[in-house]
């Protein structure tokens, strides 16, 4: 699913920013984007989750 790919991409970006000691504001921005997507996934119907939809 498309959200899974975007979540994985943002996780990678966030980890890279943290590893590089990037500016806190930049880390916070990506973290908030990631949080929004994870929240969206948690609202997806149980049918999708039943089909092994994982974050």
CA pair distance 53, 49, nearest whole angstrom: 5
Instruction: Please report which confidence band the pLDDT of residue 1 belongs to, taking 50, 70 and 90 as the band edges.
Output: low
Return the half-sphere exposure (C-beta side, CA atoms, 13 A cut-off) of residue 29.
7
Confidence of residue 3 (pLDDT cuts 50, 70, 90): confident
* Contact (Cβ atoms closer than 8 angstroms) between residue 53 and residue 1: yes
Count the Cβ atoms, other than its own, within 10 Å of residue 8: 11
pLDDT in tens, 16-40: 999 999 999 999 999 999 999 988 8
Question: What is the per-residue pLDDT for 24?
Answer: 96
Q: What percent of the chain has pLDDT over 90?
A: 60
Report CA-CA distances (Å) from 35 to 11, 39, 47, 51, 55. Answer: 10, 6, 22, 22, 12
Predicted TM-score of the model (pTM): 0.73
């Amino acid at each position: 699913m498309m959200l899974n790919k975007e979540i994985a991409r943002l996780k990678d970006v966030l980890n890279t920013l943290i590893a590089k000691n990037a500016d806190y504001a930049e880390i916070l921005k990506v973290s908030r984007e990631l949080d929004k997507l994870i929240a969206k996934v948690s609202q997806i119907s149980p049918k999708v989750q039943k089909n092994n939809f994982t974050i």
